[in-house]
Amino acid sequence: MEKKLPKVLISDKLSESSIDIFKKQNIDTDYKPGISSNDLLEIIDQYDGLVIRSSTQVTQEVFEKAKKLKIVGRAGIGTDNIDKNAATKNGVIVMNTPYGNAVTTAEHTIALLMSLVRMIPRADDSTRKGKWEKSKFNGTEITGKTLGLIGCGNIGSIVSNRALGLKMKVLAFDPFLTPEKSKELGVEKVELDFLLRNSDIISLHTPLTEDTKNIISAEAISIMKKGSRIINCARGGLVDEVACRAALETGHLAGAAFDVFTEEPAKANILFDAPNLIATPHLGAATIEAQENVAIQIAQQMADYLNTGAVTNAINFPNVSSEEAPILKPYIRLAYLLGSFLGQVTQEGIHNIKLELEGKASNIQDGPLLASALVGILEPSSAAVNNINSSSVATSRGISLSTIKHERQCDYETLIKLSIKHDKGDRTISGTLIAGDKPRIINIQGISIESDFPKNALYLRNYDKPGFIGDLGNALGRKGINIASFHLGRRDVGGEAIALVEVDGGIDDKIVAEIKDLPQVSRVNSIYFD
């Protein structure tokens, strides 16, 4: 039977280069720019991937309808038009292209900065009208002035580089900016209040979040220098537009330049007739080069994921390179199976989950392994858990998560140990890979045991006493259940022991109850590995 090709929908206008990349990567592609929200809901269940720009709104309803959807790719930086919580809940990866239009947006910021301090748009309009008002448009030099950057990531760092080249001093407020990085960039990392009070021009380069909404508020504007200026090429909503308008009218702000607005398309806005305002229609990424770059990048990223599992520039999942993806695959499977065991044998409330990696496992990326292990643990109590949302599901239940990589040598080439703390104590299981990709159990509760992951099995805690194996075999035999394999381990002679018994066919609750009544048995669980 011929394998069905992955299918992608492009719902916004995008360079045809993206379609060419998808086709070369054997991905079926439909190009429907400008599709209505209702039509999108009607057809989205046909697609494995969705490519958007800023127009398409990927809402919770879209994700609920998109049963096949694996990935949403934003050709650009901003993902405000994607319900990322709904994406994560439904196991859909969200990608963007943070570098494809970074230079273009930074250059637009500098263009607005120069236009603002030299009043170029107003002077142009006046001159075209034959007024020749030379004395009216005395500008301001930027040499020696202080530029305050709110956000110093991909775009902000490029702006800082250009500003330093123009002999400006640059301050930066960014909680994620390290002292080492600020030194490398040649900027001074400061707190927001200091930046507001000491900047001649403030430029915003941060995402719109609950924390950054109206970060330039009326109060913030009030403590800015009289005669200072604001530039926003990031996201509408970062600046209180009403407060900005008032400050422009009083002259407290000498000017403002906006490329983005709270509501877009901005056919009307309170700022539009304010004095000393420059407004552009979200042109930050609007260059030929940027449009081509983001189209190529998002298509390649999505094709890599759909074909190989590689994850690049994901918003809600750790990045996995195309080289890492095949290496990680058996480890991810092993982590899931170990988690599945713990999830099936644990009915108590879980407080902590710990993943430990030794040998070769300690040299690979741990994020996808932890995500997969959590799926296995949480599946019995949460049908909606998946690799994308497993961490958030766990933390929402108050479960703390940790990962430890041990550099020490171990008895196995690679080893993964998964531990949980629950209401009544601890539970652990360890596993390895045989022949590079075959998962195997090697230890349960600190007791050595060698077993694969059988489809149907009984897990028993018992006392190492004569007659146990016979009693168990008789109990299963009376029910017509055949033992396929039998794996035993014990802590010491006559002490605590465990057994993993593979059987042909399923095991009902009555059989489990009968086995539990055997005198040597302290606990028994029916388990299943898919």
The SS3 of residue 83 is: coil
Cα 393 to Cα 52, 349, 374, 419, 467, distances in angstroms: 27, 14, 9, 18, 44
pLDDT at 128: 95
What digits encode the pLDDT tens for the residues 8-33?
999 999 999 999 999 999 999 999 99
Concatenated DSSP letters of 269-322: -TTTTSTTEEE-SS-TT-SHHHHHHHHHHHHHHHHHHHHH--B-SBSSS--B-T
pLDDT at 357: 95
C-alpha angle 352-358-362 in degrees, rounded to nearest 5? 90
Q: Which residues pair with 49 in a beta bridge?
A: 8, 71
What is the share, in percent, of the chain residues with pLDDT greater than 90?
A: 72
Q: Look-up: residue for tokens 């209040």?
A: 193
What digits encode the pLDDT tens for the residues 132-169?
999 899 999 999 999 999 999 989 999 999 999 999 99
pLDDT at 34: 94
pLDDT at 464: 81
Q: Which residues pair with 457 in a beta bridge?
A: 502, 527
Residue ranges of the chain with pLDDT lower than 50? 1
How far apart are the C-alpha atoms of 339 and 380, rounded to whole Å? 11
What digits encode the pLDDT tens for the residues 491-521?
877 778 898 999 987 788 888 888 888 888 8
pLDDT at 284: 92
**Domains detected in the chain:** 7-100+290-308 (3.40.50.720), 102-279 (3.40.50.720), 323-453 (3.30.1330.90), 455-530 (3.30.70.260)
Of the candidates 63, 111, 66, the one whose C-alpha atom is nearest the C-alpha of residue 87 is 63
How far apart are the C-alpha atoms of 157 and 183, rounded to whole Å? 12
Catalytically active residues, by annotation: 235, 264, 282
